[in-house]
Amino acid sequence: MSMREKIKQAAARYPDQRSAIMPALLIAQKEHGHLPGPVLEEVADILGVERIWVYELATFYTLFHTEPVGMFHLQLCDNVSCMLCGSEALLKHLETALGINKGETTPDRLFTLSTVECLGACEMAPVMQVGDDYHGNLDNGRIDALLAALRREAGQATGADLAAAVPPGE
Amino acid sequence: MFEPVLLRNVDVPDGHLLSTYEAGGGYKALAKVLREHTPDEVVELVKQSNLRGRGGAGFPTGMKWGFVPKRADKPKYLCCNADEGEPGTFKDRIIMERDPHQLIEGLAVSAYAIGAETAYVYVRGEYVAAIRRLEQAIAEAHEKGYLGENILGSDFKFAVHIHCGAGAYICGEETAMLESLEGKRAQPRLKPPFPAVAGLYASPTVINNVETLACVPHIVMRGAHWFRAIGPDKSPGPKLYCISGQVRKPGLYELPMGIPLRELVENHAGGPLPGRRIKAVIPGGVSAPLIPESGLEVGMDFDSLAAVGSMLGSAGVIVIDDSTCMVKVATRIVEFFHHESCGKCTPCREGLNWAVKVLRRIEAGEGAPGDLEQLERLCKGIFGNTFCALGDGAAMGLRAALEHFRYEFVAHIEERRCPFH
C-alpha cells in the first residue's frame, strides 16, 4: 500500500481530516525516516489541510524528527526511576562506546543517541528504546551486547536500508 | 484474602488473546448489560460503586458519566486516556500489552452507559507493543461480534479506534488530549465548558483512564457492593501500584486501595536494596510530592495522601534510598516538567525554565545565598496560576523536596559542592 493510501485509510477513522495529521505524520516518518519540509507538504496535500497545521504538529511532538536520525535511534530514558537505577553511567558508557555525545549521530549514520523522558517501563529501569523495541534492566554488558547485535543487523541489512539512513544530498 | 482481578490474566500465557479472556468469563459483563440493564442503570451502578478515576485526579467516574447530556444533537464520544507519561507509571501499558480485552470490554460497557458509538484510545506512540496488541484484540473482538453493528444481537453499535500520541506528556491532561485528537498542538483548554458537554469536536465526551475502564466489567459482574467492600469507603476498589526505583522487587502490584505505603514498599516490593535504607518515596508519579521515610505509614488512597500533603496520582511509587542526592532528584523532576511544558501559560513556561537554572547551579556547587527563597517565590508564582496541573505538579514536587530535605540544599550552597559526589 502506498503512503497516500495508508494515510487515506487512517483518515477514515475521523470525522475531521485535521485529526488525521498525527497518524499521517507517523506513517510518513516510517516511510521516509524523518520529516523534511517536502514530506510535510505532501502530508498536507494528501489530507487537504493547511500546511501550517502540519508544521505545527511536526515541531511540537518529540517523536517527530524534522532532521535525519541514524539507522538505529537509541533513546535512553533518564527520568527519575531510570536515573535512580544508573542511567547516568549508562549514558557515559554509550557515549564512549559510540564516540559521540548525546544528541549526535555517528559518522557512519548507524546510531543516533538521545536521552528521553519517561518511557513508561520503570519496572525494568534503566530502559532504552531502539526503534519499536524496549530494552530494560540495562547494564554496561547488556549495552555492549545490544550494540554488537545492532551492528550485525546493519551488516545484514540491504544497501537500500543503509541508503535510507543517509539524508539526501550527503 | 484479597483476590486480584485486574491483573488476573497478565501472567497467563496468551493472556492477550480473546480465547483466554473469554475462558475467564470475559465479555459476560457486556452481554449482561446489553441484556439486563438500561444505560442509566449502568451509570447508577458505577456511581454506587464509588469508582474514582485511576488517571490521577480521582474524580468519581459515575458522576462524570452522569454529566453527559441525555439528549444531544451531536454524537457522543468516549476517549480512553492511555498516554501514560507520568514518570514512575507503567500500569496501563501492562494491561494493554497483556490483557487488552479487559480494556475493550470496559470501553464497550462504558460507551453503552453514556450513549457513545465511537471510542478513541489515545495511546502514547512509544508503546508500540501495546498498540499492536490492542489492534489485534480489536480485530478479534470485532470478528466475534463484541464490536461493530448489532453487538450480541442488540441494537448497540460501537467502534474502537486507536490514536497514537507522539511524545507529549501534556496529552495526559484531558483537554490537551482532545486538542491533540483534533490534530492540534496539545495545549489545555479553559474549563468550562467541560468535556462532558463540549469535548471532542465540541461533542459530549467522556475521558477515562485505562485502569478505570478496566474496573468497569468487574463492577458489572461482581456488583457495586463488592467494589465498595475493598479499601476505604471514600476511595474503594482494587488498585494497581507501580513500584520502581531503589527497591528490591520493582513491578506492578494489585492490592486494595488504602494499603499503607510502608507495607507496600517493604513487604510487597521487598524493601530497600541490600545495605541501604529508604530516604523518601514519591507515592504517585513525579507530580506527587515526596514523602520522607518517617511518613510511610500513610494509606495509599486519594484522601489519606491528600491529608499529608501529597497525592495518589497515578500510583507510580518511586523509592529513593540514602545513596541519592535529593537536590539531584528535585532538579530532574523540575527538568521534566520544564521539558514537557506546552508553553501556553507564562508562569509554567518561564517559571520552570528559571527554576531549572537555579537548581542546576545549586547542584553544581555554584548556589548563592537567597537561591532557596528564589525557588520558593517561583513555586508560589507557578502554583495555581496555570490552565492545567502541569505547573502545579512541578511546584508541589519542588516544594516538598525543599521542605523535607532543605538541609541538603543548604549543604550544597554552603559547601559549594554536592555532598554525595
From the first residue on, what is the mean pLDDT of each consecutive set of 10 residues in chain A (170 residues)?
Answer: 95 97 97 95 97 96 94 97 98 97 95 97 98 96 96 74 49
A132 close contact with B: CB closer than 8 A: yes
Domain boundary among the residues A18, A37, A60 is at A60
Asked whether the beta carbons of B245 and A81 are under 8 A apart, the reply is yes
Identify whether residues A34 and A80 lie together within a single domain.
Answer: no
Residue B218: all three cell numbers together:
468487574
- Answer yes or no: do B183 and A22 touch at CB < 8 A: yes
The reply to whether A133 falls in a domain is yes
A23 close contact with B: CB closer than 8 A: yes
Mean pLDDT, rounded, for B332-355: 96
Higher pLDDT, B262 or B1: B262
To the question of whether residue A85 is assigned a binding role by annotation, the answer is: no
Identify whether residues A125 and A97 lie together within a single domain.
Answer: yes
Q: Closest approach of chain B CAs to the CA of A74, in angstroms?
A: 13
ipTM at complex level: 0.95
B8 close contact with A: CB closer than 8 A: no
The reply to whether A169 falls in a domain is no
Domain interval for residue A152 = 72-158
Identify whether residues A53 and A94 lie together within a single domain.
Answer: no
| Of B254, B255, B308, B249, the residue nearest B283 (C-alpha) | B308
Give long-range contacts, CB 8 A cutoff, 24+ apart: A49-57.
Answer: A49/A17, A49/A18, A49/A21, A49/B183, A53/A18, A53/A21, A53/B183, A53/B184, A54/A21, A54/A25, A56/B184, A56/B185, A57/A21, A57/A22, A57/A25, A57/B166, A57/B183, A57/B184, A57/B185
CA B137, CA B21: separation in Å to the nearest integer?
10
The reply to whether A163 falls in a domain is no
Chain B neighbors of A89, CB-CB under 8 A: none
Identify whether residues A84 and A153 lie together within a single domain.
Answer: yes
Mean pLDDT, rounded, for B73-81: 96
Identify whether residues A134 and A85 lie together within a single domain.
Answer: yes
Asked whether the beta carbons of A19 and B162 are under 8 A apart, the reply is no
SS (H, E, C) A99-155: CCCCCCECCCCCEEEEEECCCCCHHHCCCEEECCEEECCCCHHHHHHHHHHHHHHHH
Identify whether residues A96 and A154 lie together within a single domain.
Answer: yes
Number of domains in chain A: 2
Q: What is the pLDDT of residues B99-133, one digit of tens each?
A: 999 999 999 999 999 999 999 999 999 999 999 99
The reply to whether A127 falls in a domain is yes
Asked whether the beta carbons of B127 and A120 are under 8 A apart, the reply is yes
- Answer yes or no: do A122 and B87 touch at CB < 8 A: yes
- Answer yes or no: do A81 and B88 touch at CB < 8 A: yes
φ, ψ dihedrals at A122, nearest 5°: -65, -20
**Max CA-CA distance within chain B?**
74
Identify whether residues A31 and A89 lie together within a single domain.
Answer: no
Residue A75: all three cell numbers together:
533513546
Inter-CA distances, B3 with A59, B131, B211, B289, B355, Å: 47, 28, 17, 30, 45
Q: CATH number for the domain including A17?
A: 1.10.10
- Answer yes or no: do B242 and A123 touch at CB < 8 A: yes
Say what the pLDDT of residue A159 is: 54
Mean pLDDT, rounded, for B2-7: 94
Identify whether residues A95 and A147 lie together within a single domain.
Answer: yes
Taking the CA atoms of A117, A136, B210 and B182 in sequence, report the sign of the dihedral they define.
positive
Asked whether the beta carbons of B392 and B341 are under 8 A apart, the reply is no
Chain B neighbors of A124, CB-CB under 8 A: 250
The reply to whether A166 falls in a domain is no
The identity of residue B190, as a single letter, is L
Domain boundary among the residues A13, A28, A60 is at A60
Residue that is written with C-alpha cell 549508562 in the block? A90
Identify whether residues A28 and A97 lie together within a single domain.
Answer: no
- Answer yes or no: do B245 and A84 touch at CB < 8 A: yes
CA B351, CA A65: separation in Å to the nearest integer?
27
Domain boundary among the residues A39, A60, A81 is at A60
Preceding peptide of B188 cis, ω within 30°: no
Identify whether residues A79 and A148 lie together within a single domain.
Answer: yes
CA dihedral (A99, A102, A103, A107) in degrees, to 10, reads 10
Q: CATH number for the domain including A122?
A: 3.40.30.10
B129 close contact with A: CB closer than 8 A: yes
The reply to whether A65 falls in a domain is no
The reply to whether A165 falls in a domain is no
- Answer yes or no: do A18 and B184 touch at CB < 8 A: yes
- Answer yes or no: do B328 and A79 touch at CB < 8 A: no
Chain B neighbors of A64, CB-CB under 8 A: 166-167
B339 close contact with A: CB closer than 8 A: yes
The reply to whether A11 falls in a domain is yes
Q: Closest approach of chain A CAs to the CA of B213, in angstroms?
A: 19
Chain A neighbors of B127, CB-CB under 8 A: 120
Identify whether residues A82 and A32 lie together within a single domain.
Answer: no
A98 close contact with B: CB closer than 8 A: no
User: What's the whole-model pTM score?
Assistant: 0.95
What strands, in cross-sheet order, belong to the sheet with B291-292? B251-256, B238-245, B316-321, B278-282, B291-292
To the question of whether residue A82 is assigned a binding role by annotation, the answer is: yes
| Of B129, B127, B135, the residue nearest B104 (C-alpha) | B135
Q: Could you say which of B90, B163, B180 has the minimum Cβ distance to residue A120?
A: B90
Q: Could you say which of B85, B166, B185 has the minimum Cβ distance to residue A56?
A: B185
Identify whether residues A38 and A104 lie together within a single domain.
Answer: no
* Ordered structural domains, chain B, with CATH: 18-229 (3.40.50.11540), 238-321 (3.10.20.600), 326-415 (1.20.1440.230)
Q: What is the pLDDT of residues B48-57, one digit of tens each?
A: 999 999 998 9
